[in-house]
Chain A
Amino acid sequence: MTVLFAFAAALLFATGTWMLLQRRLSRILIGVGLVGHGSNLLLLTSGGPGGSAPIIGTGDPADFSDPLPQALALTSIVITFGVTAFLLALGYRSWRMTRDDMVENDVEDRLIARQRDRDELVEETRLAEREQRDDEGLE
C-alpha cells in the first residue's frame, strides 16, 4: 500500500510540475492542486502503514494508525484549499481586467531592457556622428 501511495505521489508531483510550467494561470492552478495533493499524500504516507482508528478504548494501541500525520495533512489541505481559492479569485480578477489569465512578465524589467537598447542606440549615433566629424576634419 505504501509503495502504491509513493507511486501515486510521484505521479502527482510529475504531472503537477508539468502544469506549473505552463503560462496560463488556470493550468498553473491545476498544477498547484496536483503538487499539493502529492505532498499531502506523502504526508499521510509518512505515518507508516495504516491501522484501526486511534481512539483509546476501542482496541489495541499497537494496531492504531498514527494520527499525527493525518492531522498535519488535514491542516495542510485546508491551507492549500484556501490559497487555491484566493488564486482563483485573482485569476478571475485578471480575466475581468485583461480578458486573459496569462501570467505576464515583469513590466519594469522590460522597460529597463528597452532603456538599455535606447541608450546603446544613442551611444552608437553619437559615435557615428563623431567619426563623421573626424572624417570631415581630416579632409
Chain B
Amino acid sequence: MNDFIPLVVIVPLLGAALCVVAARSRRVQRVVSLVALSSNVITAILLLVEVDDEGILVSQAGGWRVPIGITLTVDRLSAVMLVVSSLMLISVMVYAIGLGDEEQRFSAFHPIYLALAAGVSASFVTGDLFNLFVAFEMMLVASYVLLTLGGRRAQVRSGMTYVIISLIASTFFVTALALLYASTGTVNMAELADRIPDLPDGVRLGFSLLLVVVFGIKAGVFPLYFWLPDSYPTAPGAITAVFAGLLTKVGVYAIIRSQTLLFPPDDRQGSLLLVIAALTMVVGVLGALAQDDMRRILSFHVISQIGYMIFGLALFSLAGIAGAVFYVVHHIAVKTSLFLVAGLVEFRTGSGRLSNVGGLVRSAPAVALLFAFPALSLAGLPPFSGFIAKFALVDAGIDDGAYLVVVASLVASLLTVMSMTKIWLAVFWGDAEAASVDRRLRASRSPLLMSIATGFVVAISLALIVYADPVYDYAERAATELLEPAQYVEAVLGGDDR
C-alpha cells in the first residue's frame, strides 16, 4: 500500500503529458483527464482506509533513505484532504467539460488542470519541506495559467497581482528553507521536528512566524488576504471553484502541518493565531457584505471561513483541531458547490452581478435548490454540516476560554447568514422580467453535465450531515495523531519499511 502513495502525483502528471500529446483531440484529452482524476479518487480512498487501519504510511521516493531521498507520508489528515480534494477536482472537471468555453477553446486546459491536481496532491503527501515548496509551485504555476487563460483584460490585471504576491510568498518560503537548512542541516519534516527543539528560543520563534507568514499568504488570512477577492472572481467559471475550494485550503493544511509537527508545544503561535483567526473571520465577512458580485461575495466568504479553521488550530486542543479538520472537509465541499452554482447562475443569465439578475427561483428552481443547501450550510444553520463544524469549534473554544474569538465567530456566522440572504433575495427572488429582458438568455435550462457535477458536490456536503458522526470521529483520530508528532517522526525515521 505504501507504494501507492506516489500514484496520486504521478498519475495526473502522466495524464498531463498524454494530454499535451493529444492536444488536437479534445475527446481524447477529456477521457485521459477523467481517467487520471478518477484514478486519484480511488487511490485516495484506498489510502484513507489503509491509514485509518494501519497508521501513518511512509514511502521513500526512489528507495533513497530519509536524509537523502524525498519522503512521502500519508497520515489521517493528508488522507482525508486527498479524498476530498480528488472528489472536488473530478467534479469540477466534469463541470468544466459541461461548460465548454475555456475547456473547449484551449488545448492547454486539460494538461494544466492535471498539473494543478498533481500539485495539490503532492502538497498533501510530501514529508519534505523543500518538496512542499516544489508542490506549491507546481500548483501555483498551473493556477497562474488557468487564471489568465482567457487573456481578458480583467484577467491580466488581476493575474499580475496574483502572480506577484505568490512569487513573494515563494521567495519567503525559499528564504525560510535556506535559514532552516543552515541551522538544522535538513529539510525533511520529520528530521526537522527532531532537531528544531534544540535551536535557541529566538530562532525557533523566527521560523515559526516566518512559516506562518508564508503559508498565511497562500491561505489568505487576515492581513495577507488582499490578493484573493481581487483575483479569484476573474478566473474562468469552473476554475474559480477549484481555486476557492482547494488552493487556500492547501495553505491551511500547510499551517496545520507545520505548526503541529515542526514546533514543540510552547513555540506554537496559539494566541497570535487566535487573534488572526478572529480578525480574518470578521473582516472577511464584512468585506462580503459590501460586494455586489456573486463570485466576489463568495470569495470574501472564503477568507472569513479560513478564520474558522485557523481558530480551531490555534486552540491546539484535541477538540479544536478535530473541529478544524472537520471544518476544512465541510468547507471544501460547500465552497466548491457555491462557486459552481454561481457559475450556473452566470451561465443562465449572463451575469453574476446581484443588481442584474433575479427571479431565478421561478425560472430555475433546481439551481435555487442547489444554492440553498450549501448556502445554509455555509452560514451554519442546523442540521447542515456547517452547523456541526461550527458547533464543534465553538464548543472547543469555550472549553479553552477563548470567549472573545467565540463571540467573533458567532457574529461572523450571523453576518454570513445576512450576506447569503442578500444573494438569495437578489438572485433567486426579485424581479425576473425587469432584469433579464436586456440580458441574453443563453440556454433555456442548465446543461445537464454542469448540473450533475454541482449536484454531486452538494450531495457530498449533504452526506456530511448523515455521516457526521463517523467523519467527526475520524477528525478526532486525525487530531490525536497531529498532537502527537512523535508518531509521525517515528514512522518516517524509525520504521524502516523495506
Residues of A within 8 A of B (CB): 20, 25, 28, 32, 35-36, 38-40, 42-43, 45-48, 68-69, 72, 75-76, 79-80, 82-83, 86-87, 90-91, 93-94, 97-98, 103-104, 106-109, 111-112, 115-116
Contact = CB atoms under 8 A, between A and B. Distances in A.
B164 A75 contact: no
26 contacts: A25-B160, A28-B164, A32-B167, A32-B168, A36-B174, A38-B171, A42-B174, A42-B179, A43-B177, A43-B178, A46-B178, A46-B179, A46-B182, A47-B181, A68-B187, A72-B130, A75-B134, A80-B167, A83-B141, A83-B167, A83-B170, A87-B160, A94-B156, A108-B233, A108-B293, A112-B290
Closest 10 pairs between A and B when the two form their complex, measured CB to CB: A46-B182, A43-B178, A42-B178, A39-B174, A46-B181, A46-B178, A39-B175, A106-B230, A79-B137, A94-B156
A27 B167 CA distance: 14
A48 B187 CA distance: 15
A72 B164 contact: no
A87 B165 CA distance: 12
Nearest to B184: A46
Interface of B: 130, 133-134, 137, 141, 144-145, 148, 151, 153-154, 156-161, 163-164, 167-168, 170-171, 174-175, 177-179, 181-182, 187, 229-230, 233, 290-293, 296
B221 to A, nearest CB: 19
Contacts of B158: 106
Nearest to B152: A97
A117 to B, nearest CB: 13
A90 B177 contact: no
A137 to B, nearest CB: 35
Contacts of A72: 130, 177, 181, 187
B148 A68 contact: no
B157 A94 contact: yes
Nearest to B181: A46
A20 B170 CA distance: 14
A20 to B, nearest CB: 7
A112 B178 contact: no
Nearest to A28: B164
B156 A82 contact: no
A3 B290 CA distance: 51
A86 B141 contact: yes
B300 to A, nearest CB: 11
Nearest to B175: A39
A94 B130 CA distance: 33
Contact of B151 (A35, A87, A93): A93
Contacts of B175: 38-39, 42
A87 B181 CA distance: 29
- Of A45, A46, A75, A91, the most chain B CB neighbours within 10 A belong to A46
A107 B290 CA distance: 14
A81 B154 CA distance: 25
Given A36-B171, A68-B181, A112-B290, 18 more contacts: A20-B168, A39-B174, A42-B175, A46-B182, A76-B174, A79-B137, A80-B167, A80-B170, A83-B144, A86-B141, A87-B167, A93-B151, A93-B156, A94-B157, A103-B160, A103-B164, A107-B154, A108-B293
Contacts of A35: 168, 171
A103 B174 CA distance: 25
Nearest to A48: B182
B349 to A, nearest CB: 18
Contacts of A20: 164, 168
Contacts of A46: 178-179, 181-182
Given A97-B153, A104-B157, A86 B144 contact: yes
A82 B292 contact: no
Nearest to B226: A106
A90 B134 contact: no
Contacts of A43: 174, 177-178, 181
A39 B178 contact: yes
Given A68-B181, A112-B292, A94 B160 contact: yes
